Amino acid sequence: MTMNFAGLTPTEISMVGEQIDLVDRVIRTLAALADPAKLRANAERMQAQEQSALAAMAKAADAQLALDGRENALNTRERALEVRSQDLTRKESEVDARAAAITRREENWHQAVAAVRGVAA
């Protein structure tokens, strides 16, 4: 013979008991959360963590600004070096052109000297 309580089977009664236990735990948890001292302590802890996070974000932002400044300085130096490299390449071309002109003049001079010696001989 099975026992019925309010028309429920033993399994259903067991399930209702588990649900009542769960509701009891939820109520106890809510009661613990509603404790003003705990709420205040949690709020203070959250505020401290928020301040810490904001300080870390500010520090990261400052570091990013410093990094950006250094990157801009490096870009400026790179552009200056590129301009200097182009200037040196241009000057090197000018020196090569002058050297070629001097070589031609020396050849012309030697030819002129040889012609004069040929006429004088």
Sign of the alpha-carbon torsion through 63, 69, 70, 71: positive
pLDDT per residue, tens digit, the chain (121 aa), is 455 566 777 787 788 888 988 998 998 888 877 778 877 888 899 999 999 999 999 999 999 999 999 999 999 999 999 999 999 999 999 999 999 999 999 999 999 888 888 887 6
- If 0-12 CB within 10 Å is exposed, 13-18 middle and 19+ buried, where does residue 1 land? exposed
Q: Please report which residue ranges of the chain form alpha helices under DSSP H.
A: 10-33, 36-120
Residue with tokens 């769960």: 22
Residue 3 near residue 10, CB atoms below 8 Å: yes
Q: SS3 of 5, please?
A: strand
The 10s digit of each residue's pLDDT in 103-116 is 999 999 999 888 88
How high is the pLDDT of residue 104?
Answer: 96
